[in-house]
A and B are shown apart, each in its own frame.
Chain A
Amino acid sequence: MKRILLTLLLIANTVFAIDIHEFKTEQQRLDYQQLTEELRCLVCQNQNIADSDAGLAKDLRNEVAKMIKQDMNQTQITDYLVERYGDFVRYSPPMRADTIVLWALPALVLLIAGFMVFRTIKKTANSTTNNGADS
C-alpha cells in the first residue's frame, strides 16, 4: 500500500511540474502549442514563452490559454499581445513598410549572389571553350 502511494506521489509530481490547460478540442490544443512557440518571452529574449520558466512567460501562457478557451483565433490573440508588447513579442515580424528591408534583403542578396555565380560560371565556360579552340 505504501509503495503504491509513493508511486502515485511521484507521478503526481511530474504531472504538476508543467502547466495544465484543458482544452475543448484538439484544434485548441494545437493553437495553444503553436502560439506559445511563436511568442517571445520578453524577459529572456531568446526563448519563446513555451520554453521559458520566467514568471512573465507563465503569465502569458495562462493568458493565451484563457483567450483560446474564449474561442479567440490565433490572429486575435497575437494582435492582443502585440498591442501591449509591440512587434517584438512575435518571432516572425510582420511585413510592413518599415520592415521591408528585413524581408527583402535575403532575397536580394540571393539574387545578386546568384547572378555573380552565373556570370563566373559562364565566363569560365567561355574561356575553357576558347582555350580548347586555341590548343
Chain B
Amino acid sequence: MNKTIVKALVPLVIFLSLVILLYNGLGKDTRLLPSALIDKPVPKFSLPSLLNDKIIDNNSLKGQMYLLNVWGSWCPNCRIEHPMVTEFARQNIIPVYGLNYKDEDADAKAWLNQFGNPYTDILVDLDGRVGIDFGVYGAPETFLIDGNGIIRHKIVGELNPQNIQNELLPMIDKYKNTIKN
C-alpha cells in the first residue's frame, strides 16, 4: 500500500522539480554574462585620447582606481546612462575614463558637446580591437579597475543608483587601499 503511494508520487516530484527549475529561469536576463576578466589584470592597451593628442596606455593609468565606461554616440542606452555617469563623476569618488567604442571622433565630440563630458579622459577604440580584449559585447559596459591594474567589477548595461550603491561603492571601498599616491 505504502509502496504504491510512493510510486504514484514519483512523477509529481519530478514534475515539481522541473517547475522549480524552469521557474527560476523565467525572467532571468540572459544578456547579462559574467565577465571572464574579474580579478585579472587589465588588458594591455595603448590608445589615442579623444580630447587631446596624448596616447593613453594601461601603465599610465596604474596607481589610481578608476571606472572605464564603454560608450558610443551610436548607443541609445549610453544616452540614458549619461546623467548617471555625470552624477557619479561629479562626486569625485574615483576618476571615470571613457572608452569610446567603435565610434567616429566627430560624432563622439558632438555627443559630448550636446550632453556634457563627465570623463577625465577618453580613449578612442575606433575598430573595437581593445573592446575585444576587454570582452566587450555591447555598450554601455563599465569596468572597475583597482590601483594595481586589476579588474574588480563589471557592470553590463547602464549604471543606475542601485548598481552604484550595491555593487560599485562596496567594491571601491574594498579595494581603496590599492590606490597609490
Given contacts A55-B102, A59-B128, contact A84 B33 (CB under 8 A): no
Q: Counting CB contacts under 8 A, is A9 at the interface?
A: no
| A84 and B102 within 8 A (CB) | no
Cα separation A69 to B127 with both chains bound (whole Å)? 19
Of the listed residues A43, A59, A60, A82, the one surrounded by the most CB atoms of chain B closer than 10 A to its CB is A59
| B102 and A85 within 8 A (CB) | no
Interface stretch (choices B54-62, B116-124, B134-142, B158-166): B134-142
Cα separation A55 to B103 with both chains bound (whole Å)? 12
Q: Which A residue sits closest to B36, measured CB to CB? A: A86
| B128 and A84 within 8 A (CB) | no
Q: How large is the interface on B (under 10, 10 to 19, 20 to 34, 35 or more residues)?
A: 10 to 19
Q: Counting CB contacts under 8 A, is A88 at the interface?
A: yes
The smallest C-beta distance from A101 to any residue of chain B, in angstroms, reads 12
The secondary-structure label for the interface of chain A is: helix
Cα separation A87 to B135 with both chains bound (whole Å)? 12
The smallest C-beta distance from B165 to any residue of chain A, in angstroms, reads 26
| B137 and A86 within 8 A (CB) | no
| B135 and A84 within 8 A (CB) | yes
B134 cross-chain contacts in A, Cβ below 8 A: 84
The smallest C-beta distance from A61 to any residue of chain B, in angstroms, reads 12
B137 cross-chain contacts in A, Cβ below 8 A: 42-43, 56, 85
Which A residues contact B (CB, under 8 angstroms)? 42-43, 45, 55-56, 59-60, 63, 82-88
